């Protein structure tokens, strides 16, 4: 009896140790899952993915991001060595413009396949993160640290662009001491509006009206804080860039940390989303950071990522 009781005690202790080990493993797994969900917003992505799927063939009017499939994947841009951070479409020359923010800062003109056409070294700029084409050779460049938007003229041929004496706007609201300022910028050519994108702490979108009118001599700036759009509809951990679509009036917002694109309507309401992890295995790599987004008139979607890779997505036939 004494022997049987001792054996029973040993078995119970072993069983308790096993249960404790399983409990610790489950807790660790849940902790990792919660941490990943907080970064990638998987819980909300699953909710909206299910909602989009249940919609069947019908969906809200707009660009409908689930309908885009990868076309050009992870193409390096020759001569852009590091920190590719923004992209925009130049409709006057039917080309794309990209910008870098590390080491040798530059704007490069590329074709839609990612081949370099022209180069414009940048002199005197600081931490250039995004750019947007405004027409007639004018481009706005976002600089993160002091949340400055600088307006420049891009030469017809490769040449150095100097920051000195260029007109600019600085939005000194919620300035970050940890490099979390203006990550991107996009332009509405119909409404003459800029949307400046603040990365986080807090995540914000600022709408700046009357920009071209003011640059042409008739000062008429109106600044609107669209943070309520972000809080209501953007379930990305950060904001890296945005693209304004003049055909629909919708905004595509890019989250670098969550590897996610989100479409908002004219009132900042959620329309659709697309995970960049879907169908593009490169985005799973820790060193690939999607930083810029744009579209062309044919409806093709472009994303650039650090260190120096180029992606395009086309609508499903």
Say if residue 165 is in the same domain as residue 276. Answer: yes
Say if residue 119 is in the same domain as residue 249. Answer: yes
Q: Which are the contacts of 292, defined by CB distance < 8 A and separation ≥ 6?
A: 84, 85, 86, 87, 98, 99, 130, 184, 240, 241, 254, 302, 303, 304
Task: Supply the pTM of this predicted model.
Answer: 0.84
Indicate the number of domains in the chain.
2
Looking at residues 81-95, what average pLDDT do you find?
92
Domain membership flag for residue 246: yes
Reported confidence tier of residue 1, pLDDT bands at 50, 70, 90 = very low
Helices (H), the chain: 2-40, 42-54, 211-215, 227-233
CATH number, domain of 215, equals: 2.120.10.30
Tens-place pLDDT, residues 273-299: 999 988 777 777 778 899 999 999 999
Closest CA to 255 of 45, 99, 27: 45
Tens-place pLDDT, residues 296-309: 999 999 999 998 99
Share of the chain above pLDDT 70, in %: 84
Tens-place pLDDT, residues 124-155: 999 999 999 999 999 999 999 899 999 999 99
pLDDT at 22: 75
Say if residue 35 is in the same domain as residue 65. Answer: no
pLDDT at 271: 95
Q: Is the peptide bond before 202 cis (omega within 30 degrees of 0)?
A: yes
pLDDT at 250: 98
pLDDT at 102: 77
- Phi, psi of 214, deg, nearest 5: -70, -40
Which stretch of DSSP H or E encloses residue 251? Answer: strand 250-255
**Domain that includes residue 23, residue range:** 2-40
Angle formed at CA 7 by CA 6 and CA 12, multiple of 5 degrees: 100
Say if residue 23 is in the same domain as residue 76. Answer: no
């Amino acid at each position: 009896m004494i022997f049987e009781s001792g054996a029973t005690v040993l078995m119970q202790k072993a069983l308790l140790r096993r249960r404790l080990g399983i409990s610790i493993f489950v807790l660790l797994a849940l902790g990792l899952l919660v941490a990943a969900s907080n970064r990638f917003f998987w819980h909300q992505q699953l909710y909206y993915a299910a909602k989009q799927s249940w919609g069947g063939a019908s969906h809200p009017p707009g660009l409908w991001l689930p309908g885009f499939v990868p076309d050009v994947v992870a193409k390096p841009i020759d001569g852009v060595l590091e920190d590719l951070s923004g992209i925009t479409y130049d409709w006057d020359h039917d080309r794309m413009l990209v910008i870098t923010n590390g080491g040798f800062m530059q704007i490069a003109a590329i074709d839609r396949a990612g081949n370099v056409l022209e180069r414009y070294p940048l002199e005197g700029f600081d931490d250039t993160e995004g750019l947007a084409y405004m027409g007639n050779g004018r481009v706005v460049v976002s600089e993160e640290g002091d949340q400055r938007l600088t307006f420049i003229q891009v030469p017809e041929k490769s040449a150095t662009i100097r920051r000195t004496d260029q007109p600019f706007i600085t939005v000194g609201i919620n300035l970050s001491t940890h490099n979390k300022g203006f990550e991107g910028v996009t332009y509405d050519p119909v409404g003459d509006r800029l949307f400046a994108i603040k990365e986080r702490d807090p995540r914000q979108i600022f709408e700046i009206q009357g920009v071209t009118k003011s640059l042409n001599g008739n000062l008429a700036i109106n600044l609107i804080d669209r943070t309520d759009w972000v809080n209501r509809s953007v379930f990305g951990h950060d904001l890296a860039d945005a693209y304004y679509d003049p055909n629909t009036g919708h905004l595509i917002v890019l989250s670098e940390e969550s590897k996610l694109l989100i479409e908002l309507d004219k009132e900042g309401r959620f329309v659709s989303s697309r995970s960049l992890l879907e169908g593009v295995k490169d985005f799973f790599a820790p060193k690939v950071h999607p930083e810029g987004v744009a579209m062309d008139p044919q409806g093709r979607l472009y994303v650039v990522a650090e260190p120096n890779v180029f992606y395009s997505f086309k609508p499903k036939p």
